[in-house]
Structure 1
Amino acid sequence: MNLEDIMTLRGLRKTNPKYQYLSKQTQALGFEIGVAFRFLKRDEGRRKDRSLASITNYYQVGNISPTIIAEEYDPVVWQSLWWHPEAAFCQRTSLNSPHTIIVLHLTVEPDDRLFQAEVLTALTIMLTLLEGDKFEHHNTVPVMVVSVMGRMQARVLQFHYSHEGLVITKTRLMSFATMESTTIGLGVMMGLMSSKAIGNTTDPSNILKLLRSVSYTRLLISLQ
């Protein structure tokens, strides 16, 4: 699959009258981003090129809940009428790395402000993985949230805990409305999603701050 295939698929969708709705636009773009990450290949000079996800050791999670979002958080994450996760990618089990990517649908007009939904999604993933058995020697879970909004726009946010607390960075909104902007946007988006997983996720200096933050986070989620 290549960019032309993705744009052809989008062209077929645009013939559907429902495509004018923000919800359909976010579904379409979220799907395209996930497909691009899983199937677009990078020329490595090999006999058989690998996809971006394969090169960076990510695989798509079959069931977001309860794999990376515990069932106790389902009422927070899955019952909203205007936002929900679409797809998630984790590092291969053999790497024992908690780095996670999730594609999030936000049925809203493009907006540069930070949404509570983006923060809650990242925090529920962090809590689920920190409280599980899979990463018992880790105290930091870096989460990348790919937020897809209406009008074919999206951005990338990155969340992690440090000794200073929760750190959030975000890109500007990127447009995927035309062939030209999609070419540019996908290039940037795929570059971010396929970047090397870095950072010390077992840094003991994060422990005390993390414990206080986890308590606050659980309180925040319980109030939703």
Structure 2
Amino acid sequence: MVQVNQHNSKKVLVFSILFFLVSVLELTGVYQKKIVLEFIFKPLLMVSLAAFYLVSVKKPSFLYLSALFFSFWGDLLLLFPEKFFVLGLVSFLITHLIYIKVIKGFLQKLSIITFMKYGIIFLVYFGAIVFFIKDNLNELLIPVIVYGLVISSFGTFALINYLKNKATENLWLFIGAIIFILSDSTIAINKFYLIQADLGMIIMITYIVAQYFICKAIISKSLNSEL
């Protein structure tokens, strides 16, 4: 569990419960296909997570809050996938770029050879996804490839960060990155390959868990820097 000072412990508990309740209500909307619930609680996911983060740290990171901001817009835009899928994709692309910048800040040195060595794992996975969905991508082929390269880089940086320092918070960050990649992969497969399948619950559960683990890692790193 993330440690916080006694003064803020009650606030942290309240806002962690709030994030949990918002998540449950959003997942209920997805499972029961209640559009009203989704429209209300999906945008509140990142709002409640940001609130949880803000009461947990003394010095909030503008960079991390920016990632949550673009995630919020990604969530909002993807409520209308037929109209705003590409814009939603762009919002989450920016989110991942910010997460990469955050992780790079934790790494003192990183050679290109090391990055390529571990990046190949994610590129092979990404290549397999593209192989299955390429026939249905059409004009989205290039945007999806760009997005895939970025999330592969996100996973690579998170892995290297953990291998260089196997602290618990780095493990949380790595787990969050992997689950986020799994969530994005499920979206791609659902939209462009298993078109008739309903993978909404898997997508949202993995997304929520990923964002929580990343938030937990950022909070822990912030508190450790204050010691």
- Same fold judged by TM-score > 0.5? no
- Which one has a larger percent helix, Structure 1 or Structure 2? 2
TM-score by length of 1: 0.30
More strand by share: 1
- TM-score, length-scaled by structure 2: 0.30
